[in-house]
Amino acid sequence: MKRLRSVDDFVFFREELGRETKDQTTVRVCSGTGCRAAGAAEVREAFVEEIERQGVEVRVTTSGCQGLCQRGPLVTIEPQRLFYQHVRPFDVPAIVDLTLKRERPIERLLHRTPDEKIVSWRDDIPFYKKQERVILRNCGRIDPTDIRDSIRVGGYSGLAKVLAEKAPEEVIAEIKAAGLRGRGGAGFSTGRKWELCRSQRGTPKYVICNGDEGDPGAFMDRSILEGDPHSVIEGMIVAAYAIGDMTEGFIYVRAEYPLAVKNLSIAIAQAEELGLLGRNILGSGLNFHIEIKRGAGAFVCGESTALMYSIEGSRGMPRQTPPRSVERGLWGKPTVLNNVKTFALVPMIVNQGADWFAGIGTERSKGTQVFALTGKVQNTGLVEVPMGITIRELVYEIGGGTLGGGRCKAVQIGGPSGGCIPENLFDTPIDFDSLQEIGAMMGSGGLVVMDESDCMVAIARYFLAFTQQESCGKCPPCRIGTYRMLQIMDRIVEGKGETGDIERLQTLGREIQETALCALGRSAPNPILTTIRHFREEYEAHIHEKRCPVGVCYSPGRYRILEEECLHCGLCMDVCEEEAISSGRRGYTIDPDECIGCGRCRGVCPAEAIVVEEQVTA
Amino acid sequence: MADENQGELTARLTPILDRYEGRRGVLVSLLQDVQAEFGFLEEKVMSTVAEALKLPLSHLYGVTSFYSQFYFKPRGKHIVRVCTGTACHIRGAPAIQARLEDELGICAGETTEDLVFTLETVNCVGCCALAPVVTVNDRVLNRREQRKLSGWIREQRAP
């Protein structure tokens, strides 16, 4: 690839790319983590082989996560606009022969809605219909390892526009006018942050992309870094230009994300080769380099000051603020740190304008947010919705309801720092402020759906155990306080709870919220406090009646098939992946030693013959 | 004998140290590379690095012991990880972890005596659609493979 020396060069290059691939048939095999685990690599190989064997002119390529991980491996075929699901290598010869050669879709691989309607294209599937994919615009639509694919769909156009038309102050004004709030969880105004950093005297300044996504059950940032690294890089370059006095930026990636590191490295190398990154970017005189820093496994490093210490090569422990990072950040210099999603949004805002962005979302929370929709939900996957959508719409219309079709009990939003929201508050709009009001928080976007077979006390204990383990130990409220809370939770779950434990938890929780050093510590009690607030009766049952209302606490084996209700259809045995269900002369039985309590069998049982036994503890 | 070992050690360390020569804030990355080369951070290796960097060994230990992905003991040939992320947790990860601990005879975080298996938990591997998730040597197992895991473990153990 030739180095591009000016904005005009870039525009010409982009137009040329567009002409090259017009009308070419493209087979795109999703290679997100979910699809790869389901065998996407084998499917891709099969396509390459089969296309060669049958001699068709088709481009086979990959993409990042397309979102509907539940139905992987996913394959899209354009321009025919076909969206195949659960594709296996032995389906490939038929696809090549029928679809690619004779233009006939294969119905059995297409999406079926619950009412058995066949949908051939992605955007028409209910899961995607309600979504508005802005941050995820390119995820699943481009090959992340080929910069040309990115440029073809508008990548780096925002940067080119900024360099050609806008002064740095104008860029900041635009971001501010758009009302962009940081997507890392706290929701601070991005434009304001940049402006503060720009006004600082110290030089050089630094920009950092926080890709240390550590929440259990959250994989939004990972999918963006893996599937569309160029948008993040472009956003960072725009930030460097707008803030000024910057030549170096860092992307801090969590240790568990090797593919993100790989794809980012490729993206950075390709951008440098084209002159979109490095010295004298597009002939504008802007010099900017990006370095990837791999995390080494510490959840607290997602906190901004801790992350900076980690980049400096020290123990990643948070410090007291102020001074804030925009005043004294990395190596004591003014530093802007934003989340992956925030940077991915920047190119869109400068490209489409502040008005366009401000037109999405609510009064005080603009734009869209990405959620990793997981747990007991039909459609597990990555979704992006405009701010202000209700939790109900998200869970039922996009998520398709609960996995077993049972009643949804609550959602946990914002990971271990967030809170549980009960079903009766599902009409709450999802935006920064509404969530705060009901004791939860946006967090970085994990959303776990729980049904009536989940014990809220056990879930709260699970989150607390996580933050307690990840506490860095610097400040006593977090180090000792969360440990004390965990001890109380442990005895409640074991059926040894004492009268007054709920009040003790509340007092301790409030004290930690007020006195801990960093946001991780201050938010650690949230899951406990919100579950006490909304599910107090479950705590009381554990403490006073020594029982777990849903029978989760203590050993599994709580699933049982009611003999008199059972229709002997065998569906439960088919879906049980643990092979815990067997058939005998007297019908079907569940082996308590093998059962892990995933709930799949209950979901398929037409007679509602499978019950979760209430279990008496202690 | 000892000197010979030391010589070999230095030879393996030199390219890594050279790569980071004169750059600041690289201690974590440097030690990650050292660990990739040696498998785990043995005291001898650590003290050689400390000497080369003119830093106290205690400082290196302070940094490495903070992060969960630095290891001070040898690790197994196969790394088995159980995802304990939220989605996996509510779909049965604790039961799977208990079963693997039973089969391997070790707790999560430990390595079998014959150095064949290390069992670990991980917070989220990012494919919650497949929950509960188990990975072997960084490969996410699909359903079929997961069911065959017990057999595979026995196979690896057979002499």
For residue A453, what is the nearest residue in chain B, using CA coordinates? B90
Closest Cα to residue A33, out of A150, A155, A144? Answer: A144
CA distance B4 to chain A (A): 31
In a domain? residue B71 = no
Which domain does B94 fall in, by range? 78-157
Question: Do the Cβ atoms of B92 and A556 come within 8 Å?
Answer: yes
Residue B77 has which token pair? 């040939």
**B74 has a chain A CB within 8 A of its CB:** no
Same domain, B93 and B31: no
Domains of chain A, with CATH numbers? Answer: 24-78+82-120 (3.40.30.10), 147-357 (3.40.50.11540), 368-454 (3.10.20.600), 457-548 (1.20.1440.230), 559-616 (3.30.70.20)
- The whole-number pLDDT of residue A84 equals 93
| Residues A231/A187, Cβ–Cβ less than 8 Å | no
CA–CA distances in Å: residue A97 to residues A23, A41, A53, A94, A102: 19, 20, 11, 5, 7
C-alpha to C-alpha distance for A613 and A121, rounded to whole angstroms: 42
Question: Do the Cβ atoms of A313 and B90 come within 8 Å?
Answer: no
Same domain, B61 and B101: no
For A489, counting Cβ atoms within 10 Å of its Cβ (0-12 exposed, 13-18 middle, 19+ buried), the class is buried
Query: What are the tens digits of pLDDT across the range B87-103?
Result: 888 888 888 898 899 88
Question: How many domains is chain B partitioned into structurally?
Answer: 2
pLDDT means per 10 residues, chain A with 618 residues, are 89 88 83 84 92 89 85 87 92 91 90 85 86 89 91 93 94 94 86 94 93 83 92 96 93 87 95 94 94 90 92 92 90 94 94 93 90 87 90 91 83 86 92 86 82 88 91 93 95 88 96 93 92 93 84 63 87 85 86 76 82 58
Q: Specify the pTM.
A: 0.88
Residue A67 identity (one-letter amino acid): G
Among B residues 96-125, those touching chain A with beta carbons less than 8 Å apart? 96, 122-125
**B53 has a chain A CB within 8 A of its CB:** no
Q: What average pLDDT does the segment B95-113 reach? A: 90
Closest Cα to residue A350, out of A221, A183, A220, A164? Answer: A164
For residue A600, what is the nearest residue in chain B, using CA coordinates? B91
- The whole-number pLDDT of residue A580 equals 87
Same domain, B97 and B33: no
B133: CATH: 3.40.30.10
| Residues A106/A95, Cβ–Cβ less than 8 Å | yes
Q: Which of B70, B86, B100, B103 to mutate to test the interface with A (most CBs of A within 10 A)?
A: B86
CA distance A598 to chain B (A): 4
**B91 has a chain A CB within 8 A of its CB:** yes
Q: How does strand A111-112 pair with strand A118-119?
A: antiparallel
Which of A69, A446, A597 has its CB closest to that of B86? A446
Domain end marker among B35, B66, B97: B66
CA distance A190 to chain B (A): 27
A208: left (phi over 0), alpha (psi -120 to 50) or beta: beta
State the ipTM, two decimals. Answer: 0.89
Looking up tokens 């920047």, which residue turns up? A346
Same domain, B90 and B148: yes
In a domain? residue B100 = yes
Q: What average pLDDT does the segment B118-130 reach? A: 84
Q: Which residues neighbour A417 within 8 Å (Cβ) at sequence distance 6 or greater? A: A185, A215, A441, A443, A467, A519, A520, A523, A524, A526
For residue A413, what is the nearest residue in chain B, using CA coordinates? B86
In a domain? residue B95 = yes
Q: Which of A85, A262, A380, A574 to mutate to test the interface with B (most CBs of B within 10 A)?
A: A380
**A599 has a chain B CB within 8 A of its CB:** yes
Domain end marker among B43, B66, B89: B66
Among A residues 467-526, those touching chain B with beta carbons less than 8 Å apart? 472
- The whole-number pLDDT of residue A235 equals 96
Exposed e or buried b for every residue in A347-366, given b needs 16+ CB within 10 A?
bbbbbeebeebbebbbeebb
Kindly write down the DSSP assignment for every residue of A102-155, as one continuous string: H----GGGSEE-TT--EE-SGGGSHHHHT---STTSSTTTS-TT-HHHHHHTTT
In a domain? residue B119 = yes
**B128 has a chain A CB within 8 A of its CB:** yes
**B150 has a chain A CB within 8 A of its CB:** no
Q: Which of A215, A314, A552, A612 to mutate to test the interface with B (most CBs of B within 10 A)?
A: A314
- The whole-number pLDDT of residue A556 equals 43
C-alpha to C-alpha distance for B128 and A375, rounded to whole angstroms: 8
**A298 has a chain B CB within 8 A of its CB:** yes
Question: Do the Cβ atoms of B140 and A33 come within 8 Å?
Answer: yes
C-alpha to C-alpha distance for A141 and A132, rounded to whole angstroms: 15
Same domain, B84 and B59: no
- The whole-number pLDDT of residue B3 equals 60
Same domain, B60 and B86: no
In a domain? residue B72 = no
**B50 has a chain A CB within 8 A of its CB:** no
Residue A55 has which token pair? 């001699």
CB neighbours (10 Å) of residue A113? 13
**A79 has a chain B CB within 8 A of its CB:** no
**What is chain B's mean pLDDT, rounded?**
87
CA–CA distances in Å: residue B15 to residues A293, B21, B64: 20, 10, 21
Q: What average pLDDT does the segment B41-68 reach? A: 92
- The whole-number pLDDT of residue A115 equals 81
For residue B96, what is the nearest residue in chain A, using CA coordinates? A596
Same domain, B55 and B84: no
Domain end marker among B41, B66, B91: B66
Among A residues 185-224, those touching chain B with beta carbons less than 8 Å apart? 214-219, 222-223
DSSP 8-state secondary structure symbol assigned to residue B74 = -
Query: What residues in A contact B63, CB-CB < 8 Å?
Result: 313-315
Question: Do the Cβ atoms of B90 and A415 come within 8 Å?
Answer: no
Question: Do the Cβ atoms of B29 and A462 come within 8 Å?
Answer: no
Question: Do the Cβ atoms of B126 and A37 come within 8 Å?
Answer: no
Q: What average pLDDT does the segment B40-57 reach? A: 92
- The whole-number pLDDT of residue A276 equals 94
Query: What residues in A contact B140, CB-CB < 8 Å?
Result: 33, 36-37
Question: Do the Cβ atoms of A217 and B86 come within 8 Å?
Answer: yes
**A123 has a chain B CB within 8 A of its CB:** no
In a domain? residue B61 = yes
| Residues A65/A71, Cβ–Cβ less than 8 Å | no
Question: Do the Cβ atoms of B86 and A412 come within 8 Å?
Answer: yes
In a domain? residue B143 = yes
Rg (CA), chain A: 26
In a domain? residue B94 = yes
**B52 has a chain A CB within 8 A of its CB:** no
CA distance B88 to chain A (A): 7
Q: Which of B20, B123, B140 to mutate to test the interface with A (most CBs of A within 10 A)?
A: B123
Which of A72, A214, A375 has its CB closest to that of B87? A375
- The whole-number pLDDT of residue A568 equals 87
Q: Is the pLDDT of residue B144 over 80?
A: no
Same domain, B47 and B84: no
Query: What residues in A contact B25, CB-CB < 8 Å?
Result: 311-313, 331
Question: Do the Cβ atoms of A293 and B63 come within 8 Å?
Answer: no
A/B interface, count of CB pairs below 8 Å: 153
Same domain, B88 and B148: yes
Residue A450 has which token pair? 């729980």
CA distance A333 to chain B (A): 14
Same domain, B28 and B52: yes
Same domain, B58 and B6: yes
Helices (H), A283-419: 304-311, 340-352, 354-358, 391-392
- The whole-number pLDDT of residue A606 equals 84
Query: What residues in A contact B24, CB-CB < 8 Å?
Result: 312-313, 331
Which of A372, A446, A596 has its CB closest to that of B95? A596
Question: Do the Cβ atoms of A216 and B85 come within 8 Å?
Answer: yes
Same domain, B83 and B62: no
Q: Is the pLDDT of residue B82 over 90?
A: yes
Q: Which of B30, B66, B68, B130 to mutate to test the interface with A (most CBs of A within 10 A)?
A: B66
Residue A239 has which token pair? 């930030």
